[in-house]
Each structure stands twice: as C-alpha cells, then as structure tokens.
Amino acid sequence: MKACGLVVEYNPFHNGHVLHARESREKTGADVIVAVMSGPFLQRGEPAIVSKWTRAEMALNGGIDLVIELPYAFATQKAEIFAKGSIALLESLGCDSFCFGSEDGKIEPFIIAHRILSENSAAFDAAIKSAMDAGNSYPASAAQAYRSIIHGDAALDLTKPNNILGKEYVSAALSNGYSIRPYTIQRVAAGYHETKLSKDPIASATGIRKAIHEHQELHSVSSYIPQATMSGLEQYLTHYHALHDWEMYWSMLKYRILSSSLTELAGIYEVEEGIEHRMKEMANQSSSFSGFMAALKTKRYTWTRLQRMCVHILTHTFKEQVIHNDQPAYIRLLGMNGRGQEYLRSVKKGLPLPLISKLSSYRRQDIDMDLRAAQVYALGLPEPHQAALMKREYESPIIFK
C-alpha cells in the first residue's frame, strides 16, 4: 500500500482540509492518507480549540486514514524544527510521499530553494543575522536574506506562511536523505491567516475560530466545516462546557510569570535577550492575555514567537529539555480507520521507533513533556472536566472508525 503523509493541526478540521486530503490522495496515487497532527498546543503558540482526540476523530470522519501525534517538543516550534519532527515521523511510518498546500502550488521552486540555500548557507545565515541586528523579526529577516540570494522566477515568496512551512518540509526530507517524496498543491480561497469569512465555503481555521469566539456560537461557521466537525464541536461543548483559547489560561500564565524569578524565566525555552524583564512588567499591568500580548509586542518579536514563549512558560519547559530532542523518539497513535489499520499492520514490524497505542503501557521519560502539556491544557477546563480529559489521555484506547 502507498501512503501519503500530511502535516496538520486541524484547529478545527474544515472544508479546506477535506479538499487537501482528497487532492493529496489523487496527486500522489496514495492508498492511505496519514496525518501527523499537533497535540494540545500548536505551532503558532496557541491552545487547540478542542482536544487532539476530538480533532483526530474529525479528521477520520473527513478522509484521513491514520492520525499520529506530533510531540510537544516539535509541535510548538519555529517552522524549521516543526517540519523536521513532522517529516521524520512520516518517514518513520514508511510514507512514500508527503503533500502540503502552498501559495506557490509547484514543487520545483521548493526543491531549487533548498539546493541554492544549502550551497550558500553561510551567506544566507550572515544575511539573516544582519537583518535581525537591524531590528527585524526572524521571519522578515529570513525572507529578506532569501531574496538577496535567489532572484527571478525561481524565487519563492517567503512572506507567505504556507510557502515558509513548505520550504522547511522539503528541506527536512532532502537534507536527511529520506526516501519520502515531496508534493504540493495550490492553496485556494482564504489565506492562512485570513480572519474574515466570505461566501466561499473554504475559510481559514483562523477565521473560523475568530467567528466562533466572537459570536459565542457555532452556527456562524456551519458553511465552512463538515457536519462531522460541527458535531464534534457541539459534543465537546456539551461534555466539557468550553472551547479552548488563551484567555482560559491567562491567570495561570500570569502567576507563572510573576512568581518566577528573572533567572527562572530566562531559563525557559525561547525566552531570550532579556525579554523576561518586559514580560514581568507587562504581566503586572495586564488583566487579560490579549492586553498582555498587545503591551508585550515589539517589532523584533512576532506575535507567534511571543505566544510560543508563553506556552513554554505555562508548561514550565526549560531550554535544556528541548535542546536534547533532536528527533522524535516514538510514534503515538491517536486514531485510524480500517484502511489505516491495514497499512499499519503491514509496516508495524519494520518501524524504527516504538509505537504507542496506549499511554499507560509506555513508561519512558521522553514523553514527559507531552504529558505535562496535556495536563496544563486540561487545567483550562472547569472542574470536574479537567480530570475527565486527563483520564482520556491515560486510559482510553485509540479512536477507530
């Protein structure tokens, strides 16, 4: 059986994701679609709107055959490390290909970009440093450095979020000599960060979440998500009485910041260049997460990078804990259908990493960060639902459709 891998967050699973899965299957000729999906906290430094279990079930109802979890140490990272962990897991599962949506829509520019940047890595790094020294954020500096090295029609637009991620996916595969083959499809309709909903049935997850939180009801997004996603969101609200966002965690984050010493804050992963001083000052003055972020934001630090710092403070994740996680150490299975089960059975004996189908059977320390993230995520819920979600983490079997 041929398998195609997708790197996803499904926050939540929407009509664009249905299209991505279907077109990826067609373009690669895959029998099976495997999704490596972020857990409770996401690449842009946000809590997922619903648990990974609910999002995995949405995916299985929407055309995905097998869902595995991207560990916290890779899921809450800049694009390069996020991609590195994701593609490594898909390679470990024996996927023949992976397919990502991009603004460019053609794979050749991504391959050319990887080759030229590999051949000019010193010049590229120097150009990034120069731009950052001038006060620019890392993404803006990287895009500027890229334009100084690659010109003309072959150049990717690295101001576009899906192109940025796509470049890192391709680089992760080619740099490591993986056998997995890259493909891309054109991203259509709403942009990755588009916050407004239009008449088109394909909207961004950002826009869908914004509409849900603004209107405080689900009907406003019914045109943009499959019925199975609507049912999943409704059931989550009924069961847990909440959909997650940053404001649910503000009191915990504020406590972490104000009760930690400057030295402790400086030891947290991604907290650098003395920003811990500004964090303490702004946390003391702020009454909400949105207010804190607006006060904290500077030209040098993107909103996303600051949110990731906040996630690591919230989960008490220190630099030395993350630095040692160079490659994923396990494959955690969240759910599958019959086709996914058949594929997994065919590759299971040759897997280079341990396969976790039930957490209680896996005792190694390398999963501690994931457990801590899951515990913190559950604390955003009202009691007694915190305990119920953590029980799901430890005791329940994988989802089978």
Residue list, annotated binding site: 7-20, 101, 162, 187
Rounded to the nearest angstrom, the gap between the alpha carbon of residue 45 and the centroid of all alpha carbons in its chain is 9
Residue 356, strand partner residues: 332
Query: By the 8 A CB rule, do 320 and 54 touch?
Result: no
Query: By the 8 A CB rule, do 193 and 161 touch?
Result: yes
Distances (CA, A) of 350 to 221, 329, 355, 379: 43, 15, 11, 38
- What is the Cα–Cα distance from 369 to 352, expressed in whole angstroms? 21
Whether the ω angle into residue 328 lies within 30 degrees of 0, i.e. cis, is no
Q: Which residues are annotated as a binding site for ATP?
A: 7-20, 101, 162, 187
- What is the Cα–Cα distance from 199 to 299, expressed in whole angstroms? 34
- What is the Cα–Cα distance from 250 to 380, expressed in whole angstroms? 9
Q: Which two tokens stand for residue 61?
A: 């109802």
The C-alpha angle with vertex 77 and arms to 48 and 329, in degrees rounded to 5, equals 95
Beta strand pairing status for 331-336 and 399-400?
parallel
Query: By the 8 A CB rule, do 382 and 242 touch?
Result: yes
Beta strand pairing status for 355-356 and 331-336?
parallel
- What is the Cα–Cα distance from 283 to 314, expressed in whole angstroms? 13
- What is the Cα–Cα distance from 333 to 198, expressed in whole angstroms? 36
Q: Which among 339, 337, 330 is positioned nearest to 93, based on CA atoms? A: 330
Rounded to the nearest angstrom, the gap between the alpha carbon of residue 90 and the centroid of all alpha carbons in its chain is 15
Beta strand pairing status for 66-70 and 331-336?
antiparallel
Distances (CA, A) of 51 to 10, 42, 401: 11, 11, 18
